[in-house]
């Protein structure tokens, strides 16, 4: 089947293995049988062409993937800052940006103010 299997790059080997798991064995076997590459470069190009011609399988919802982030609307402040709340698996975060620089002093002040708001009174 492959004439130069020991010279396949790891990345290409992983793509080839994934294509086989996704059911592309017949198409790959047919494409490789029709060609006669003279060297490892030709074989790598042939494999890349065969893999590029495959349809991407539908994502498997059981595999999960990256956790989704729930993003709230971005709020533009008159001071030039923007605020946006985001939620992920670890909790909430507030993203501070805009066209004004956000320095460490401002962050320290904001953390102290959040602590004051969220701390129990007394």
53 and 74 fall within a common domain: no
- Size of the chain in residues: 122
Category of 80 on φ-ψ map: left (φ > 0), alpha (ψ -120 to 50) or beta: left
Number of domains in the chain: 2
Residue 85's nearest CA partner among 72, 102, 75 is 72
The pTM assigned to this predicted structure is 0.45
Residue 92's nearest CA partner among 83, 79, 104, 101 is 83
Q: How does residue 69 score in pLDDT terms, banded at 50, 70 and 90?
A: low
Q: Per-residue pLDDT tens for 50-60?
A: 888 877 666 66
C-alpha–C-alpha distance, residues 9 and 22, integer Å: 20
Ranges of H-type helices in 53-96: none
Q: Which of 40, 61, 82 is the last residue of a domain?
A: 61
Domain range for 34 is: 5-61
Say how many C-beta atoms besides its own lie within 10 A of residue 48's C-beta: 13
Q: Per-residue pLDDT tens for 79-121?
A: 999 999 988 888 889 999 999 889 999 999 999 999 999 998 7
16 and 56 fall within a common domain: yes
53 and 9 fall within a common domain: yes
107 and 85 fall within a common domain: yes
Please tell me the predicted confidence (pLDDT) of residue 105.
Answer: 94
């Amino acid at each position: 089947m492959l004439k130069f299997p020991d010279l396949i790059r790891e990345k290409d080997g992983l793509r080839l293995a994934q294509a086989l798991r996704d059911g592309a064995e017949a198409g790959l076997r047919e494409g490789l049988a029709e060609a006669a590459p003279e060297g490892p470069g030709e074989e790598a190009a042939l494999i890349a062409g065969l893999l590029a011609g495959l349809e991407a399988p539908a994502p498997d919802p059981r595999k999960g993937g990256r956790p989704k982030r729930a993003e709230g609307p971005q709020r533009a402040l008159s001071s030039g800052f923007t605020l946006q709340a985001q939620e992920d698996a670890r909790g909430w975060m507030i993203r501070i940006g805009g066209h004004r620089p956000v320095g460490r002093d401002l962050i320290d002040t904001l953390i102290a103010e959040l602590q004051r708001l969220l701390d129990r009174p007394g």
